[in-house]
Amino acid sequence: MKAFMVERYGDQAGMRAADIPDPRVGADDVLVKIHAAGVNPLDLRIRNGDFKAFMPYRLPLVLGNDLAGTVVRVGPSVTRFAVGDEVYARPDKDRIGTFAELIAVHQDDLAPKPATLTMAEAASLPLVALTAWQALVERARVRPGQKVLIHAGAGGLGSIAVQLAKALGAHVATTVSTAKVDLAKDLGADVVVDYRSQDFEEVLDGYDVVLDSLGGENLAKSLRVLKPGGTAISVAGPPDPAFARELGANPILRLAMTALSFTARRNAKRHGVTYSFLFMKAGGDQLRELTTLIDTGKIRPVVDRVFPFEQTLQAMEYVEKGRAKAGKVVVAMT
């Protein structure tokens, strides 16, 4: 099969197209013919080697973390899917590789594709939708009437998180650039802060939850807009001790993560709030929950551009250079 491989960590020069053997299909695996795959900032970070300390992939590696496609074979223990089913997924972090014609995915990580979406639209969702769910539903337990701040509300994660928070009954604020204010309002945001002309810290206060995808000073300021007892969840901020334990990291790595997150955790404690780092997990059951929200119109994908599969490297460059105007970039088989 054709695939796009990372041969060495670093920039785009370390990637190439290749012909490789078809995946092996285990007893609980589903072999999926990929119709479309989402492109995520995570793909760039994996390619660059940012996570090699705690995600030691063996190179060469097929990249890609989102897919939508059709089942072409099932393992002998598979009970949830049959040949011909249309599915979507974010494969487990140890089994990524959606920039390819085929992938074998554990049946527990798959879900039926939303009936209302095209393959390209469905492929844009799994990673960001699962991240939003795990942050807002699983970890923050957002309840109706709570105030939730979603940063970068027109981006891949933000555009879905804004809609999910609204579906949960929250009062939602978000930060966007001037050109994306109308989109953020259309997605359901109650308060839209144009970060080019406003400082969100000066106009927002008393929030229960912040979902941060930017890190750095943005995270530090986010702690200050929370009310006492509030929670800041970051997918970009420093890994914390809880993540190290969850990962089963060795003592040296646990110590390093504790040190990296010390300032964020100390500042959170000073403000009477909590800081939490999130690295999302695959989850077919959670995707099924999200599918219901998608097919009932409460969440809709935002797709910026679809590239042909042959232009996967160009699609990654497009994302890396920040050319996407809103939402996700997708590569699709022709």
pLDDT at 249 over 80: no
Structure tokens at 102: 């085929």
Q: What are phi and psi of 313, to 5 degrees?
A: -65, -40
Residue 27: partners with Cβ closer than 8 Å, 6 or more residues away: 75, 76, 77, 78
Identify the pLDDT of residue 54: 76
Residue 205 above 90 pLDDT?
Answer: yes
E strand or H helix at 245, and its extent? helix 241-247
Token output for 218: 């943005």
What percentage of the chain reaches a pLDDT higher than 90? 85
Q: 269-326, pLDDT tens digit by residue? A: 999 999 999 999 999 999 999 999 999 999 999 999 999 999 999 999 999 999 888 9
CA angle (124 as vertex; 123, 125 as ends), nearest 5: 95
What mean pLDDT comes out for the span 63-78?
Answer: 98
User: Is residue 165 within 8 Å of 136, Cβ to Cβ?
Assistant: yes
